[in-house]
Structure 1
Amino acid sequence: MRKLLVVIDMQKDFVDGALGTKEAVSIIPNVIEKIKSYDKKDVFFTRDTHQANYMQTQEGKNLPVEHCIEGTEGWEIDANIRPLSEGTTIVDKPTFGSTKLARMIKDIADKEDIEIELVGLCTDICVVSNALMLKATMPEVSISVDASCCAGVTPDKHGAALETMRSCQIYVKND
């Protein structure tokens, strides 16, 4: 059984930048250890990727905080984690969930048995979106999220997202 790790949006703007939180900063050591426990060929990073016109987009109108603008420091993977992203697959995504990521992992699942584990930011937006997209794409694949390697916009929203994932048969570890 091949085990894949999906590291969601561990970018400066979500850790300690424009939308950062103390909870996001606090999970960095756990995320580093988790990534180190996987073979690089089995690790997928996502990067929230917006353009200069962000404020004119649907997301920008609903979350009017510029963040993860492609090419900026805030868009980069957190400096503590960035060295671990070398040699892995990085998927830039323009919105919460990545259809490209789901297709890439489905291609692997079509050839071999896999399990998927997710970690990252923010539990209640991009982590839950990708977890549900992966589950909808591959309903028979075991999917888990490590709660100790995730942080939400707020602790309450983190908990609510974990409950949503549990309800959708995504295994929640270390809650």
Structure 2
Amino acid sequence: MKHFLIVVDMQKDFVDGALGTKEAVSIVPSVVKKIEEFDGEIFATLDTHGENYMQTMEGRNLPVPHCIKGTEGWELDKAVAAALEKKGYTPVEKGTFGAAQLPAMVMNACAGEPCDIELIGLCTDICVVSNALLLKAIFCESPISVDSACCAGVTPEKHLAALETMRSCQIEVK
């Protein structure tokens, strides 16, 4: 069985930048450890916006410019980036919550073999849940899990609510 780890949006703006939280900062060591110990293929999503962010639907609903490509806030957290570089990974840029191309990338990497998929990262209630449900829709017979100790939400309450949503959709919450 092939094993895949999806590291979701562990970028500076979500950790300690424009949309950072103390909860996001606190998961960085656990995320780094998970990456270092993972035996399988790793994909890392990157929330990626342009200078026109404020004119987008997301920008109108969340008027905080973040993860503008080429800025420091778009870059991966330094500790996470170092762990990913050491292990090797495939970056996946996405312009919205879910990475629409991710299921096809994982499918291609599976090459017809059974696989399991684990997700970690930020934010539990936005991009982690979006990508988990996107993958579950395609890989309905594959075990999909999320490590709650390696995730943080916009608020602790929204983190817990997203974990419950994923449990309801048969995603294992560790």
TM-score by length of 2: 0.96
Equivalent residue number for residue 34 of structure 2: 34
**Correspondences of 1:82-161 after superposition (within 5 Å):** 82-86=81-85, 87-161=88-162
Q: CA deviation at 1:135?
A: 0.2
State the alpha-carbon separation in 2 of the partners of residues 144 and 171 from structure 1.
4
SS at match of 1:65: coil
Deviation at 1:85, TM superposition (A): 2.2
AA aligned to 2:15 is: V
Deviation at 1:114, TM superposition (A): 0.6
1:30-83 deviation digits (Å, cap 9, x = unpaired): 0001001124x6011000000000000000000000000000000000011111
Alpha-carbon deviations, 1:78-128, whole Å to 9, x = none?
011111222310000000001111111122345211100000000000000
Alignment partner, residue 169 of structure 1: 170
How many angstroms apart in 2 are the aligned matches of 1:111 and 1:141?
A: 12
> Which letter maps to 2:35?
I
2:96 counterpart SS class: coil
Where does residue 65 of structure 2 map in the other structure?
66
Q: Which segment is superposed worse, 30-39 or 118-127? A: 30-39
CA distance in 2, matches of 1:110, 1:143: 18
> Partners in 1 of 2:37 and 2:42 — Cα distance?
10
What does the per-residue CA deviation read over 1:128-157, in whole Å, with 9 as the maximum and x for residues that have no partner? 000000000111010000000000000000
Give the TM-score normalised by structure 1: 0.96
Partner of 2:46 in structure 1? Answer: 47
Aligned partner of residue 126 in structure 2, secondary structure: helix
The runs of at least 4 consecutive aligned structure 1 residues that moved more than 3 Å come to none
Q: What residue ranges of structure 2 are gaps of 5+ in the alignment? A: none
Partner of 2:80: 81
Contact 2:2 2:110 in 1 (8 A): no
Query: Secondary structure at the residue paired with 1:20?
Result: coil
Aligned to 2:78, what secondary structure does the other structure show? coil
3-state DSSP class of the match of 1:158? helix
**Quick one: percent identity of the two aligned structures?**
64
Please give the secondary structure, in 2, of the residue aligned with 1:148. Answer: strand
- The letter for the 1-side match of 2:153 is G
Please give the alpha-carbon distance, in whole angstroms, between the structure 2 residues aligned to 1:110 and 1:81.
28
